[in-house]
Structure 1
Amino acid sequence: MIAIAELTSIEQLSSMRLLWRALLGKTRGATFFQSAEWLEAWWRYCGEGQTLKVLCIGVGGKTIGMVPLTVRRETTDVGRLRTLTYPLDDWGTFYGPVGANPTAALYAAMRHLQQSPRDWDLIDLRHVDEARLDQGRTANALRMSGLSALEQTWAELPAIRLDQWDAGEVFARHSQLRRAEHQLSNRGRLISIRHRPAGNDVGPAEMRRDLLDDCLKLLRDRPENERQLIADAYHAAALAAMVELNLVYLNGRPAACAINFVNQGEVDVFAAAVDPELAPAATDVLRGRMLLDAMDLGDTVFRFSPRTAWLAEGWSNATLTSSRHTHFASVGLRAQLLRLNQWGRRLLSQKPVTVSDLPA
C-alpha cells in the first residue's frame, strides 16, 4: 500500500534529514541539488512567497522516495499563474526525485497531485534529464495519473567530458594553460588552489572559510540573497564532502574562482567569477587548472548551468539537453489559454519550445 506524507514547511525537514541523506545515497546520478540541505538553503534565500510541497512516498511502511516541489506565482503570457515545479531555478543542470525507485515515486506523486485539492494552475517539471536518467518516467507518470502534459526542451547547456579527451586534446589544453599562466606571471606572483574537503568529519580547518570569502569577493556583484545562498550551500556541501573550491590568486588577490558540487566523479559548476581586469588569461588559468587537475582525481564530466555556462566557452565538447513536462489545469481558464498559446507556437515553429520561449 502506498502512503504519501506532504511536508509544507521547511521546519518539518529537520526530522527527515537522515532518511533523506540515505535515499540520496541510493539515487542514480544524484547531485547535491537534490539534498535536503540544498532545499533548506535555497528556501531560506529564494523561497519567499512560495509554498513548499515535499512529497514523501512510502510503501509497506518504508519510505522509498522524496519528490521536492514548490508552488509559486509566475508571470506568463496570459497573466500570473500558480506553478508547481522543482526547487532549482537554473542553479544546476538536472533535477528529479530522490530515491532508488524514481518510477514509483513519480507515479505516486502525480497520482497524489491529481487526487488532492488543487493549489496550482500548472505542473511544470523542469530540468528533467530525459536522455540519461528519466527515460520517459516523468511523461509516463503524468499520463498514467490522467494528467496530460506538453513535453518541451527546457535548456541546452554545455558540458566538458574529460573521459572523451584524447592525448592531443590534453596536450592542447596544457599548452593553453601554460600560455595563460605565463601571461599572468608577468604581472606578479601567480598561485592556484584547489580545495576539496573529504571524509565524514569536516571541521573548521577543512571548511576553509577564508577561501570562500575570497570567492564571495569576486561574486560581489551578485544579489545579496544569492551570495548568502552560495555561502550556506557551500558549507552544507562541505559537511557532506560534496564540494570543491578552485581559486586563482595574483599578487595575493583573488583573480578567479569556481565553486563546484561533486559526487562520484561528476561535477556541477555552481558559481564562478573572474576579475574582469584579468580576463581572459585568468579564466584560462582557472579553467585549465580545474579541469586538468580533475583528470588526476578521476572526475569524468563537468556540467555548467545557465549561470556558469560562460566558463565552458571554447572548451565544451558536449551538450546536455534538459526537458520540461507541463500539465495545464483543465478547469483553469488562463491555464488552458496558455496551453493553446504554447501548442500554437510549437506548431508554427515546428521545433521544441526552449527556455527562452516560455514563462520563467
Structure 2
Amino acid sequence: MSDVIELNEIEALADYQRDWSRLLEVTPGGTFFRSLEWLQVYWKHFAEDQILRVLIIRDGNQVSGIVPLCVRRIKSKFGLCRILTFPFDDWGSFYGPVSANQKTTLRTALNYIQQSRRDWDLIDLRCVDSAGFDRGSTEQALQSENISFERLLWCQTACVDLKQNWNQYLESRSTKARKTYLGSEKRVQQEGDVEYLRYRPSGVEQGESDPRWDLYDQCEEIARQSWQGRSTTGTTLSHESVSLFFRDAHERAAQVGAVDLNLLYVAGRPAAFNYNYVNAGLIYSLRMGFDPRISIKGAGCVLMGRMIKDSMQRGDRILDIGPGSLDAKKNWYTSVENSYRYVHYSATSVTAKLMQLSHQFADWYRDRFSNEAVDVRKVTDNSKLSATWR
C-alpha cells in the first residue's frame, strides 16, 4: 500500500537527497532538470509567488517515486488563476515524475491531490512527452483516477538521434545541409588552427566536479558579444536577470556530472560555444552562440557538427536542440518531438469554470468559422524518434 508525504519547504527535500538521486537514475528520460539539485537552484531564484508541493510516494519504507509540484498564480481575463503544475517553467523540453514507474507514481499523486486541500483552480501538467519516455503514463494516470482533462499541444522540440555513426548521419542530411557544413569546416580552417574542446566532468562522486569557471566565463562572454547580449527576453547566459541562476545551476550540475560544455577556438580565440546538460546519454542544448567580432562565417556550424560527431563516438543517445526556431535547426535534427499540456478544471472553482467555457467557445468558434485553424488537441503524434526516445 502506497502512502504520500507532502513537503512544502525546499530545505526539507534534503532529507530525500539519496532517494531522489537513486530514482533519477531509473527514471525514463531523466534529465538534470528533474534532479533535486536543479529544483533547489530554481526555487532559490524563482520561488516568489509560488507554493511548493513535492509529493514523496512510499511503498512501505521504500521511496518509490517523487512528483515535484507547485501552485502558481497566473493572470487571466477572469482574474488570478491558481494552477497546480510542475516547478519547471519551460527551462527544458520535457518534465514529469521521478520514478521508474511513472504511471503508478502519478496515479498515487493524483489520488492524493483530489483528497487534499484544494488550493488550485487548474491542474496544469506541462511539457509532457506523451509519445516518448512518458509512454502515455500521464494520460493513463488521469483516466485511472477519473479526472477529466484536455490535452493541448504545448511545444515542439528538435532532436538528433545519436545512435548512428557520423558518416551515416551526414549522408542523411540534405545536399544543401552537407555543403553548408563541409564548406564551413573548410572556411574556418583557413583562418588558423581550429580546436574543439568538450568539458564533461563526471561529478563529485567520481572526484571530478571542478566547474571550470574559466571555460564558463568564455561562454558567457561569447553570449554577451553575440545577439544574445542585446536580447530582451531575459533568458540568455549573459542577461543580468538570470545570469546568477545559470551560474548557480552550472556549479550544481558540475557536482552531479551533468555539465556538457563545448567550445570552438579559432587561431587561439574562443569563437563559438554550446552549453548543455547531460544525463545518461541524453543531452539538452541549453544555450549556444558565436562571437561576431571574429569574422569567421560558420564557426557555430562547425562546432555543432563536431559536437554531434563526438557525441556519437561517445555513445550518447539523443541531443535535444531545444524548442522553437525549427527552421534554423532543420539542417541538424532527425525528428521533431511534441510535448503536451494536460489541463483539468476544478469543478468547485468559478474561475476554472469560466476559463473552461471560454476555451470551449473559442474552440467552437474556430472550428465553425476558420478552415485553416488546427485544433491542437487533435494533433497526431508521428515523430520518427519515438522508439529511440524510449
> Taking structure 1 as the reference length, what is the TM-score of the superposition?
0.89
Relative to structure 2, which stretch is displaced further, 244-253 or 85-94? Answer: 244-253
Match of 1:208 in 2: 212
Query: Alignment identity in percent?
Result: 36
SS at structure 1 position matched to 2:260: strand
> Following the alignment from structure 1 to structure 2, what is the Cα–Cα distance between the partners of residues 287 and 313?
13
Q: CA deviation at 1:27?
A: 1.1
State yes or no: 1:331 paired with 2:348: yes
Deviations 1:69-96 (Å, cap 9, x if unpaired)?
A: 1111112343321111112222211111
SS at structure 2 position matched to 1:249: strand
Relative to structure 2, which stretch is displaced further, 166-175 or 261-270? Answer: 166-175
> Taking structure 2 as the reference length, what is the TM-score of the superposition?
0.83
Equivalences for residues 40-79 of structure 1 within 5 A: 40-79=40-79
Amino acid at match of 1:39: L
Q: CA deviation at 1:160?
A: 1.4
Match of 1:257 in 2: 273
Match of 2:222 in 1: 218
> Following the alignment from structure 1 to structure 2, what is the Cα–Cα distance between the partners of residues 162 and 63?
33
Deviations 1:117-166 (Å, cap 9, x if unpaired)?
A: 11111110011111122233212322333421111111111111233677
> Following the alignment from structure 1 to structure 2, what is the Cα–Cα distance between the partners of residues 143 and 168?
42
Which runs of 5 or more residues in structure 2 are unaligned? 230-235, 368-372, 379-390
Match of 1:288 in 2: 305
> Following the alignment from structure 1 to structure 2, what is the Cα–Cα distance between the partners of residues 244 and 321?
24
Quickly say closer, same or farther: Cα 1:78–1:218, change in 2 above 3 A. farther
Match of 1:11 in 2: 11
Amino acid at match of 1:234: H
Amino acid at match of 1:352: V
Q: Of 319, 329, 332, which aligns to 1:302?
A: 319
SS at structure 1 position matched to 2:118: coil
> Following the alignment from structure 1 to structure 2, what is the Cα–Cα distance between the partners of residues 58 and 265?
28
Which runs of 5 or more residues in structure 1 are unaligned? 355-360
State yes or no: 1:180 paired with 2:196: no
State yes or no: 1:271 paired with 2:287: yes
Q: CA deviation at 1:19?
A: 1.3
Q: Of 301, 307, 314, which aligns to 2:331?
A: 314
Relative to structure 2, which stretch is displaced further, 303-312 or 67-76? Answer: 303-312
Match of 1:196 in 2: 200
Amino acid at match of 1:330: A
> Following the alignment from structure 1 to structure 2, what is the Cα–Cα distance between the partners of residues 136 and 161?
21
> Following the alignment from structure 1 to structure 2, what is the Cα–Cα distance between the partners of residues 302 and 231?
22
> Following the alignment from structure 2 to structure 1, what is the Cα–Cα distance between the partners of residues 31 and 217?
24
Match of 2:98 in 1: 98
Amino acid at match of 2:316: D
SS at structure 2 position matched to 1:30: coil
Relative to structure 2, which stretch is displaced further, 304-313 or 149-158? Answer: 304-313
> Following the alignment from structure 2 to structure 1, what is the Cα–Cα distance between the partners of residues 271 and 152?
39
Deviations 1:51-75 (Å, cap 9, x if unpaired)?
A: 1111001122221100001111112
Instruction: Report the RMSD for the aligned CA atoms in angstroms.
Output: 2.5
SS at structure 2 position matched to 1:133: coil
> Following the alignment from structure 1 to structure 2, what is the Cα–Cα distance between the partners of residues 13 and 183?
51
How many residue pairs get aligned? The number is 353
> Contact 2:165 / 2:313 at 8 angstroms: preserved in 1?
no
SS at structure 1 position matched to 2:117: coil
> Following the alignment from structure 1 to structure 2, what is the Cα–Cα distance between the partners of residues 240 and 193?
20
> Contact 1:180 / 1:282 at 8 angstroms: preserved in 2?
yes
